Structure 1
């Protein structure tokens, strides 16, 4: 039976509480010599290992009790221009770091029976916990002890970050009513460091009569009765993690536990299209189809319609999946659409991941085999089990930092699209046009025919937010153009870019999509400054999404491949659960004990 006062009480904590009433426990903080206070914190650390907030598997740690030492695996790293201490965790992720910080704050407060409640709607990207301001002195001393055992940092939101184990720190922070707490985490390479930006906010709510009043706005409530009901809720409500994981429980007031208008209550899937260009059988099939087409057609294919650069794989899919695991834990299912191919390193048994063969989704099997992404994209809405809302990604598109569903979908289900400054050329389509330009012109013609407007802008190479119902409607509305695109084995002047352009403009004109805003960068690896741009991206990590692409076969493909692989390994060093363990190409260091456990 789960206790409402302490939903995960352990035998150790029960013994501790039975021996010392709450008043005595609080006096321990100020009056008991440090050795005994440290012993108390060892007890709290045992609680932390029992209530753990992140799965061992997710963080690459071990369930071995020998790894619960207070200072194990600490490392000094440079983060945002300063040297800080961080715990080295083999499978570190941003979402796990956030969940861990929330968990540790909640564990300390519950162990000392400090009144608290978790908060939603602060417009911050981190979890938040509120405590009554009248208990501030007790809370500060408890946290000082906690930081003494597990080194971490406190900041005031103004860029000032200080050692949480120092009494001087807490005196300096006394005038601030909102603090950011963080126990830093890094991966073994120290390429990934999760500090204050992944911390947990602590708010001190002042008492006014019989009410507690918030020190800053939130979208739910800014005052509540002192004796308001405290309900037990899952911690993942306040710090989202992948659905497979359970992060424990915390307390809050009822208003913060119900669905809100800005919650995304619908599942969001991801669909990839992928090809293994090194597969001899696939290459033979492609070459035969290309030869047959050039014999039957009035002229050769456009140079960029079927050149090798269009199909080259540098293992980008592995790292794009890592970017989802690292920065988009809210993704529901992932579908990989292929021509019967499976990456050798892919863990096809992982829940929520499914391989989809072209033969499963093409409405007309005679259109296969196809080597045209436009044709494949025209059939994505036929994937069995696909949610109505999904993101379509090429394997050279990556999430570059934490993103939320709101980057791509409105809470009411409307999609967002991201227009490029690049323009669709004017005039009629000709065989000499670049395939991408011809496709854009065809999309413009259909929108003009249906809605009477003139579209001019291309779309950025970002994840495309799509609706199955819109794609189904497009097939019904433009049947002939849809059929021609499906049957085009290679890029053709007749193609329509259904998933990457037409969907967005059609949905916009039927009030189901809006123009979105996303911090994004496109890097052409054939550019002379590509290495410089990749170095800048790796150093700053300041884009929501990015695309690494080329359209021309390079003069030195080996050098180009090394450049891309070295960048991706450094940017995404943590293997995802979508990879077979034996195929993970990153050395795993032994991390601290588990912090999220599997549901």
Structure 2
């Protein structure tokens, strides 16, 4: 008891010191706000935010998202150039979150003067780009005279107007700025100061054309899926280069409200005696509102998604904006071939039927609601431009041997997948998959249903998880697609798995929030007791409210459409 008491005191002291340090940092930021800052903050839509310990003037834009920040910075730069009468054209940048425009090197003084005036009128920042990844602390205040002397000779500079949301928790800075490239004239051509993958030289007097935004960044949806966003450019950059994605990508979620009395009554009516305690754990069916935050992450970090399908047992979250054109709620009754299989309480069974969704695209991502996007993510993290999918292998292994009643559901399903792959292709699989969005092909799922009819049917008709299940979407699809040349192993996704039942989870969540380094993270829990759930709910809600601080358009009453 004494040791436990001492341990608690130490934890409280650590928390107090962290809070005190945070307050000191905020005080330091406030003290460093100069009189010039205060003058520039006279307008109500500006504020000071701390970025990497440095005060930055930010413009408050309710509901701001990364794609809109990219567009806003591009528009700010091009508006300044147009007002100054400077010719420019859009070029493809190496960054999908930062835009880029080209100007003639001989117009340097006019360009820098125009940008300096724009940064004074609406406080912005400038930084020279010299082939390195830009850091937030390298940005110089563009509303001050000294900064422009430091970028005067740079071949490429980036202008950024810091943007923040109405809570000041989400700050979008240098990563979303606009690069200005100074192209020099040589023998009747304008020559780029850096490589861009499309054209390093264009004719001097070539007329400008208009092109869609999707030719300049993969971090946007296809033209047919939105209102056109046009960019002034040169013909080479308006040509559809090979390697662009030209197919739609949808997202599918499966969701259940495990606290719904009707659902609980149905579950009890079918004598719920799952073969393994993990399948019956209360945490498996608890709705912690993860779906709300997962949709927020999708809105922020994957604007290229077309439609979002929510597969449920005739349940709909009360907060979900079902009037949104991209949201489609799908009942189990619409996708199960065999009505006698319903109701079902087996996620493996539900997942085996996803390819029956009417209108679903050939290429789609399957999300569990406890999976979140942690930063900007691109279609090519999941699908190559030619349609090949990517899967992400876990270091965790499928136990060797035959399925056993003692196996947890995931292990039993993995063993059953192994048998099917070995019988069909002669290979033995050993590794599980990471708990990330799964890149799936609708046609591959059709083939699996036809190729393994008995195993597929057995899984689809099992009301509760069974030792005979296969895991179609999270494993079998990937191995089958790999063997039929339609998927490859991916390695370019930064992923974090957070078990809410682990004692050190607060530290893990704190690091995730501070760095936002993960493309994808999963908040999972299959082992906690019901007594522990309320504490974990409070912890997770605090974390998610900080990470995704305002509603997405997929929530009722959201004002950030």
TM-score normalised by structure 1 residue count: 0.83
1:270 and 2:251 correspond = yes
Match of 2:210 in 1: 232
- Segment of structure 1 superposing worse, 119-128 or 482-491: 119-128
The offset of 1:124, in angstroms, is 5.1
1:171 and 2:149 correspond = yes
The offset of 1:167, in angstroms, is 3.0
1:472–1:541 distance in 2 versus 1, CA, 3 Å: same
1:123-272 matches, within 5 Å, as 123=95, 125-157=97-129, 159=135, 160-235=138-213, 237-238=215-216, 240-241=219-220, 246=227, 248-272=229-253
1:26-37 matches, within 5 Å, as none
Q: Is the 8 A contact 1:233 1:250 kept in 2?
A: yes
Match of 2:361 in 1: 387
The offset of 1:251, in angstroms, is 0.9
Q: Is the 8 A contact 1:119 1:128 kept in 2?
A: yes
**Residue from 350, 353, 357 that aligns with 2:327:** 353
1:132-164 Cα deviation digits (max 9, x unpaired): 111010010011111001001011235431111
1:231-262 Cα deviation digits (max 9, x unpaired): 02344643554566547533101121222222
The offset of 1:111, in angstroms, is 2.4
SS at match of 2:101: strand
SS at match of 2:396: strand
Match of 1:568 in 2: 544
1:7-31 Cα deviation digits (max 9, x unpaired): xxxxxxxxxxxxxxxxxxxxxxxxx
**Residue from 535, 541, 548 that aligns with 1:559:** 535
Deviating runs (4+, > 6 A) in structure 1? none
1:382-406 Cα deviation digits (max 9, x unpaired): 0000000000000000000000101
Match of 1:279 in 2: 260
The offset of 1:123, in angstroms, is 4.7
1:89–1:290 distance in 2 versus 1, CA, 3 Å: farther
The offset of 1:302, in angstroms, is 1.0
* Aligned-pair Cα RMSD in Å: 1.7
1:321-336 matches, within 5 Å, as 321-336=295-310
The offset of 1:530, in angstroms, is 0.8
Match of 1:86 in 2: 58
Q: Is the 8 A contact 1:92 1:574 kept in 2?
A: no
**Residue from 267, 278, 288 that aligns with 2:269:** 288
Q: Is the 8 A contact 2:215 2:237 kept in 1?
A: no
Match of 2:13 in 1: none
1:165-199 Cα deviation digits (max 9, x unpaired): 23321221122111111111011322210000111
Match of 2:498 in 1: 523
TM-score normalised by structure 2 residue count: 0.88
CA distance in 1, matches of 2:228, 2:98: 15
Match of 1:465 in 2: 439
Answer 1 or 2: higher relative contact order, Cα 8 Å, separation at least 6: 1
1:55-111 Cα deviation digits (max 9, x unpaired): xxxxxxxxxxxxxx9944111111123211101122111111111111111112122
Match of 1:320 in 2: 294
The offset of 1:346, in angstroms, is 0.5
CA distance in 2, matches of 1:72, 1:228: 44
SS at match of 1:325: helix
- Segment of structure 1 superposing worse, 472-481 or 187-196: 187-196
Which structure 2 residue ranges, 5 or more long, are not aligned? 1-40
Q: Is the 8 A contact 2:249 2:361 kept in 1?
A: yes
CA distance in 2, matches of 1:265, 1:127: 21
1:165–1:116 distance in 2 versus 1, CA, 3 Å: same
Q: Is the 8 A contact 2:404 2:467 kept in 1?
A: yes
1:545 and 2:509 correspond = no
1:151–1:316 distance in 2 versus 1, CA, 3 Å: same
CA distance in 1, matches of 2:484, 2:86: 52
Q: Is the 8 A contact 1:96 1:241 kept in 2?
A: no
1:485-519 Cα deviation digits (max 9, x unpaired): 10111111100000000000000011100111210
Match of 1:63 in 2: none
SS at match of 2:280: coil
CA distance in 2, matches of 1:301, 1:171: 71
Q: Is the 8 A contact 2:351 2:473 kept in 1?
A: yes
1:274-314 Cα deviation digits (max 9, x unpaired): 001111000110111134xx4xxxxx621012322111110
1:399 and 2:373 correspond = yes
Which structure 1 residue ranges, 5 or more long, are not aligned? 1-68, 295-299, 592-597
- Segment of structure 1 superposing worse, 86-95 or 119-128: 119-128
Q: Is the 8 A contact 1:316 1:395 kept in 2?
A: yes
1:98 and 2:98 correspond = no
**Number of aligned residues:** 510
Q: Is the 8 A contact 1:270 1:391 kept in 2?
A: yes
